[in-house]
């Protein structure tokens, strides 16, 4: 009983609220819902960090903010603190380490050139899935991010681009720290806010959710007709080869995962992206490419081949580019389109979870590898 009362009274970040929830707050307070529109616009479109000086706020909105938002009140703003901002030497990648209210740190990466920028967002602090080659998997699960903590990353990236005189974000990929479909509800709430036309306005067709293969989450995305792109991280085309790299494969076996992908395709008609981290000698032979091609037959599939980013806790190395091209040719011969992704920003530790792992080592929190 006490726990429920305490949880209900716990202050929430304003960023956790969707537009509809914010409107409801004003209606419940006996105020016009139009104030929600003004506040939302300042917050998500204008990227405000605080509201005291906003000239277009009418007295009732100012009063509501004074009464409801701040230390000891129902809401707080919930902007994270930037603890690192690193740029790659090629200037194409910028990586931010953001500290949340409880001290946890997460990574947000902005990649781009010629005014076309993509942000890579985190959805959890750490990850429970334990993929052996992944720096986030190596640190284990800490906690789910709240919707506002996902929204805050987009605001942060937008502000950084605006301050640098660049145009805004075009695309978002949920490929940072964590497994988005293990934090389904918070991710969906955050994406509703992020794609809201009155605010951040990044349309669903510009957003890709990447999953290690959480079968119930894939089926739910399909049943709910969520309008986002789906990327599935495969890395192995037989049960044994995949399970050696992706322990989550034991919970959601490859056959079940592929059946879920087929259901997803049948219900949505959408192309599915498949990610394949290329690791020398582990999953990069022409025979393995052939098995992947067989696995994907009948689906509208596009494969993203990502040469391994080295991490402290895994001894593997990246597939050399000639072998990556051969792998790609086998897919091509089977009619499966693919792209070899560049390892952008390797010098800023731009692989998933790597900057946080590096900073923790520097602070003596984890032993050096």
Binding interface with ligand SF4 (CB under 6 A) = 127, 129-131, 134, 136-137, 178-179, 212, 352
Among 149, 196, 275, 284, binds ligand SAH (CB under 6 A): 275
Rule CB under 6 A: is residue 351 a binding residue for ligand SAH? Answer: yes
Give the one entry of ligand SAH, ligand SF4, none that residue 190 binds, where binding means its C-beta sits below a cut-off of 5 to 8 angstroms depending on kind.
Answer: none
Nearer to ligand SF4 by Cβ, of 93 and 309: the residue is 309
Report whether 160 contacts 114 (CB < 8 A).
no
Give the one entry of ligand SAH, ligand SF4, none that residue 142 binds, where binding means its C-beta sits below a cut-off of 5 to 8 angstroms depending on kind.
Answer: none
Rule CB under 6 A: is residue 211 a binding residue for ligand SAH? Answer: yes
Nearer to ligand SF4 by Cβ, of 22 and 127: the residue is 127
The rounded distance, in Å, linking the Cα atoms of 362 and 113 is 31
The rounded distance, in Å, linking the Cα atoms of 166 and 161 is 5
Nearer to ligand SAH by Cβ, of 65 and 237: the residue is 237
Catalytic residue among 107, 149, 179, 275: 107
Task: Please list, in sequence order, all residues whose beta carbon lies within 8 angstroms of the beta carbon of residue 183, skipping any fewer than 6 positions away.
Answer: 123, 124, 144, 145
Measured at the CA of 192, the angle between CA 189 and CA 195, to 5 degrees, comes to 145
Choose the stretch contacting ligand SAH; rule: CB under 6 A; options: 22-30, 150-158, 204-212, 251-259.
204-212
Give the one entry of ligand SF4, ligand SAH, none that residue 328 binds, where binding means its C-beta sits below a cut-off of 5 to 8 angstroms depending on kind.
Answer: none
Report whether 242 contacts 236 (CB < 8 A).
yes
* CA 51, 109, 99, 147 torsion-angle sign: positive
3-state SS assignment for residue 312: coil
Strand-pairing partners, residue 97, are: 84, 107
Strand-pairing partners, residue 144, are: 124
Task: Please list, in sequence order, all residues whose beta carbon lies within 8 angstroms of the beta carbon of residue 223, skipping any fewer than 6 positions away.
Answer: 267
Q: Identify which of 309, 326, 327 has the alpha carbon closest to the alpha carbon of residue 318.
A: 309
Choose the stretch contacting ligand SAH; rule: CB under 6 A; options: 46-54, 93-101, 209-217, 328-336.
209-217
Nearer to ligand SAH by Cβ, of 26 and 233: the residue is 233
The rounded distance, in Å, linking the Cα atoms of 321 and 4 is 55
Nearer to ligand SF4 by Cβ, of 36 and 129: the residue is 129
- Lay out the site mask for ligand SAH across 10-39 (x = CB under 6 A, - = otherwise): ------------------------------
Residues 287-306 that bind ligand SAH (CB under 6 A): 306
The rounded distance, in Å, linking the Cα atoms of 354 and 306 is 16
Residues 229-268 that bind ligand SAH (CB under 6 A): 233
Rule CB under 6 A: is residue 277 a binding residue for ligand SAH? Answer: yes
Pairing label, strands 93-99, 105-113: antiparallel
Give the one entry of ligand SAH, ligand SF4, none that residue 193 binds, where binding means its C-beta sits below a cut-off of 5 to 8 angstroms depending on kind.
Answer: none
CB atoms closer than 10 angstroms to residue 315:
9
Instruction: Judge whether 256 counts as a catalytic residue.
Output: no
What token pair was written down for 230?
Answer: 């789906």
Which ranges in the chain belong to alpha helices (H)? 2-9, 19-28, 34-40, 59-68, 135-139, 147-163, 184-194, 215-223, 239-245, 254-268, 286-296, 321-333, 354-362
| Least distance CB 306 / ligand SAH (angstroms) | 5
Catalytic residue among 23, 127, 352, 358: 352
Instruction: Judge whether 352 counts as a catalytic residue.
Output: yes
Rule CB under 6 A: is residue 212 a binding residue for ligand SAH? Answer: yes
| Least distance CB 102 / ligand SAH (angstroms) | 22
DSSP conformation class of 75: E
| Least distance CB 315 / ligand SF4 (angstroms) | 17
Nearer to ligand SAH by Cβ, of 54 and 299: the residue is 299
Nearer to ligand SAH by Cβ, of 73 and 250: the residue is 250
Residues 167-196 that bind ligand SAH (CB under 6 A): 175, 179
What residues line the site for ligand SAH (CB under 6 A)? 131, 133-134, 175, 179, 210-212, 233, 275, 277, 306, 308-309, 311, 351-352
- Could you give the residue numbers annotated as active site? 107, 352
């Amino acid at each position: 009983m006490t726990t429920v009362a305490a949880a209900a009274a716990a202050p929430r970040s304003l960023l956790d609220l969707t537009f509809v929830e914010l409107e409801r707050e004003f209606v419940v307070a006996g105020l016009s819902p139009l104030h929600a529109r003004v506040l939302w616009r300042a917050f998500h479109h204008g990227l405000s960090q605080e509201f005291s000086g906003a000239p277009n706020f009418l007295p009732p909105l100012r009063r509501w903010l004074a009464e409801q938002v701040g230390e000891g009140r129902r809401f707080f703003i919930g902007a994270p603190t930037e603890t690192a901002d690193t740029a790659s030497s090629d200037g194409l990648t910028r990586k931010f380490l953001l500290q949340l209210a409880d001290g946890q740190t997460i990574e947000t990466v902005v990649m781009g050139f010629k005014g076309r920028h993509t942000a890579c967002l985190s959805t959890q602090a750490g990850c429970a899935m334990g993929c052996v080659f992944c720096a986030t998997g190596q640190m284990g699960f800490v906690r789910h991010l709240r919707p506002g903590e996902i929204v805050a990353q987009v605001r942060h990236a937008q502000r950084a681009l605006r301050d640098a005189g660049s145009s805004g974000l075009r695309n978002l990929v949920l490929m940072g720290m964590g497994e988005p479909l293990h934090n389904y509800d918070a991710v969906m709430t955050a994406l509703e806010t992020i794609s809201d036309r009155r605010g951040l306005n990044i349309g669903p067709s510009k957003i890709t959710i990447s999953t290690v293969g959480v079968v119930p989450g894939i089926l739910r995305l399909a049943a709910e007709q969520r309008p986002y792109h789906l990327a599935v991280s495969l890395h192995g085309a037989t049960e044994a080869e995949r399970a050696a790299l992706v322990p989550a494969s034991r919970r959601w076996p490859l056959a079940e995962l592929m059946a879920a992908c087929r259901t997803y395709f049948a219900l949505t008609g959408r192309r599915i992206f498949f990610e394949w981290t290329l690791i020398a000698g582990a999953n990069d032979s022409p025979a393995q490419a052939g098995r992947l091609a067989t696995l994907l037959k009948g689906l509208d599939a596009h494969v993203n081949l990502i040469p391994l980013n080295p991490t402290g806790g895994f001894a593997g190395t990246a597939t050399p580019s000639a072998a990556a091209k051969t792998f790609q040719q086998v897919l091509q011969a089977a009619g499966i389109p693919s792209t070899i992704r560049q390892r952008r920003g390797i010098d800023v530790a731009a692989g998933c979870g790597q900057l946080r792992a590096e900073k923790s080592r520097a602070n003596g929190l984890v032993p050096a590898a």
